[in-house]
Amino acid sequence: MSRERITETIAWRSDDPHLTGNFAPIGSEIDADELEVVAGAIPEDLFGTYICNGPNPRYEPVSYNYPLEGDGMLHAVRFEGGRASYRNWYVRTRGFEIEDTACHAVFGGVMTPRPVDPAYLGPGDDPDNPFKASAFIGVMQHGDHLLALGEGEPAWESGPDLETRGPWMAGTDEPILLGAHNRVHPVPGDLFALSYDFMSPTVTMHHVGRDGRLRRSFDIALAAPSMIHDFVLTEHNLVLLIGPLVFDMEAMMTGGSFLQWRPDIGTRIAVVPLTGGNGASATFNCLLRIDTETGDISAHDFGNRIAGEAVFIPRGECETAGWLATYLYDPDTQTSEFVLLDAEGFSDEPVVRLRLPPTRAARPSRHLGAGLIATAIRSTLFGPGVKVCYAPATQYQEGTSERIDHSRRNEPRL
Ligand SMILES: [Fe+2]
């Protein structure tokens, strides 16, 4: 891995707004020993380094989709003894090296992948891989390891000078693939990392010890190859939000976009034990009720059915009293229901399930399509005399001007 500094400037120009102005790439790697203080003073006791990674295409891209393409470049400001210095360094991934040899871009973008000319590939390169490993999205530290991160590609380890050392093996004999957001468990200090796959309907989770050695990896099956940029780590579980943004090679081959929004798949939440159990994948669709003071979590599991966005409807003055309302879609019957859960008996059977009117005789109930945003309003809709589930803000006694004061009654407040 070359430690030779790159001193050339960017010779090409582009009209792409994401390649101009503040987005314009920086060609040369530099060191600035002492940064000028424009105002104020550097705290004497500030010690450490702030590092940012981002897409910085060295060669004029064949196509460019911000923020999905580029070469990684680490920008670091180091503080010590009231002084600050700066250094930047390209992340010299294998993709970067291939283009360094060619002296021009040879990969297409992630949205427009194309075969790479084999003349530029080495014996260890996969000629069928059209994607450039470029590690420009994230940067993190785990133990002694400083890692530049892309998505679904090797993490590239940097040394103390920021120089690229090579793909991180995590104590194994081959690179492990990581995403841009990974989580260190605060108790054991272990790293939990996610990697999704462009081509296969799988997300892989890695558990790496605080010593930097891979403990285990396990796969979670998905409905389609999906972009999962981030996840949540709790004390005992991984929580994945799997939106319907999927990679579709067939669509791309017929002129469409490689990334497709597929609301028919729905949004799914997977809660996976950190122990992984016997390694089986577990995805299900549930709503969680989290007590932010005690940390208690209760779940309502809808099984194979897919919930929309749930809206809390308060009932009375108690913070926990009320209902959760949502639509529920059953992919087996292709029908939807409206369900209302009691927030205080969250795991119990729904307070009510409502069948939605049929669209045609052959179907017992309609489906709504996967929704995104829901709301509850302070009004009955559909004209006078039709009650929905909410009380209006102001009601008058029939035939009088006397207001009904809902604040003195235990009725829904929105
Ligand atoms: Fe992010």
CA-CA distance, 354 to 398, in Å (whole number)? 29
Can you give the residue range of the structural domain that contains 78? 1-176
What is the phi/psi pair of residue 3, to 5°?
A: -100, 0
Question: Would 291 be classed as within a structural domain?
Answer: no
State yes or no: pLDDT of 317 exceeds 90: no
**Shared domain check, 74 and 51:** yes
Residue 407 main-chain phi, psi, to 5 deg: -65, -20
CA of 145 to the centre of ligand 1 (A): 20
Looking at the fold, whether 77 and 170 belong to one and the same domain comes out as: yes
Residue 39 lies in a domain: yes
- For residue 138, the CA-to-ligand 1 centroid distance in Å is 8
Q: Which residues have CB under 8 Å from 209's CB, separation 6+?
A: 188, 190, 191, 215
401 & 365 share domain? no
Q: Among the three residues 253, 283, 313, which one is the final residue of a domain in this structure?
A: 283
Instruction: Name the domain count of the chain.
Output: 4
Range scoring the smallest mean pLDDT among 190-204, 216-230, 336-350: 336-350
Q: What pLDDT does 358 receive?
A: 53
pLDDT at res. 357:
55
Highest mean pLDDT among 26-40, 159-173, 285-299, 307-321: 159-173
Check whether residue 19 and residue 159 sit in a common domain.
Answer: yes
Q: Is the pTM of this model over 0.75?
A: no
- Mean of all residue pLDDT scores within the chain: 78
Has residue 300 been placed in a domain?
A: no
Please indicate, yes or no, if residue 290 is contained in any of the structural domains: no
Q: Please report which confidence band the pLDDT of residue 285 belongs to, taking 50, 70 and 90 as the band edges.
A: low
Give the per-residue pLDDT at 308: 64
Span from the CA of 346 to the centroid of ligand 1 (angstroms): 32
More confident residue, 361 or 89: 89
* Interval between CA 391 and ligand 1 midpoint (Å): 41
Start-to-end CA distance of the chain, whole Å, equals 61
- Do residues 140 and 246 both lie within one domain? no
User: Are residues 145 and 29 located together in one domain of the fold?
Assistant: yes
pLDDT of 7 over the 70 cut: yes
Examine residue 7 and state whether it is found in any structural domain, yes or no.
yes
Q: What is the mean pLDDT of residues 29-44?
A: 89
- CA 91 – ligand 1 centroid, Å: 18
Q: Are 261 and 267 in contact (CB under 8 A)?
A: no
Residue for token pair 């910085």: 56
- SS3 per-residue string spanning 116-174: CCHHHCCCCCCCCCCCCCCCCCEEEEECCEEEEECCCEECEEECCCCCEEEECCCCCCC
pLDDT for the residue 172: 96
Residues 260 and 153 in one domain: no
> Where among 144, 176, 208 does a domain terminate?
176
Could you tell me if 136 and 248 lie in one domain? Answer: no
State the distance from the centre of ligand 1 to the C-alpha of 354, rounded, in angstroms: 38
Q: Would you say residue 288 lies in a domain?
A: no
One domain for residues 40 and 127: yes
Cis peptide before 61 (omega within 30 of 0): no
Kindly state whether residue 335 falls inside one of the protein's structural domains. yes
pLDDT over 60 at 4, yes or no: yes
User: Across residues 272-279, what is the average pLDDT?
Assistant: 63
> In terms of domains, do 198 and 117 share one?
no
CA of 181 to the centre of ligand 1 (A): 6
Q: How confident is the model at residue 72 (pLDDT cuts 50, 70, 90)?
A: very high
| pLDDT tens track for 111-137 | 777 889 999 999 989 998 888 888 998
Who has greater pLDDT, 277 or 259?
A: 259
Indicate whether 251 and 347 sit together in one domain: no
Predicted local distance difference test score (pLDDT) of residue 147:
92
Residue where a domain stops, chosen among 107, 142, 176: 176
Residues 111 and 138 in one domain: yes
In a domain, 78, yes or no: yes
C-alpha 137 – ligand 1 centre gap (Å): 8
